[in-house]
Amino acid sequence: MPDPPSADPAGVSLICSSSTTPITGKGSYVLDVNFFDELRIGLASAEDIRNWSYGEVKKPETINYRTLKPEKDGLFCE
């Protein structure tokens, strides 16, 4: 009997006929990538994207072309 699909907020779910093993302390599962029946990928809702986002982009720059590091206050700045 297949395991129930596991879904995350991004709308990704796996339906697996093999057994899954829980990872201690994380609440997620390790799947054997060779044995799964179905993979579903969906779009994230606007509310999910707002929940994932944080901070403010103050400059349009993304990555410094010389150092390949994120620009301060840019799109990829953490």
State pLDDT tens for residues 23-75.
455 556 666 667 777 778 888 889 988 888 877 888 888 888 899 898 888 88
The tokens for 16 are 């697996």
Radius of gyration of the chain (CA): 18
Could you tell me if residue 32 is inside a domain? yes
Per-residue pLDDT at 4 = 46
Read off the pLDDT of residues 55-67 as tens digits, 9 standing for 90 and up: 788 888 888 889 9
> Of the candidates 39, 38, 27, 77, which has an alpha carbon nearest to the alpha carbon of residue 57?
77
Same domain flag for 14 and 40: yes
Same domain flag for 36 and 17: yes
Calpha distance 13→60 (Å, rounded): 34
pLDDT confidence band for 5 (50 / 70 / 90): very low
Calpha distance 1→68 (Å, rounded): 49
Alpha helices in 18-65 (DSSP H): 46-52
- Could you list the residue range(s) of the whole structural domain that residue 60 is in? 54-78
Same domain flag for 11 and 33: yes
More confident residue, 19 or 74: 74
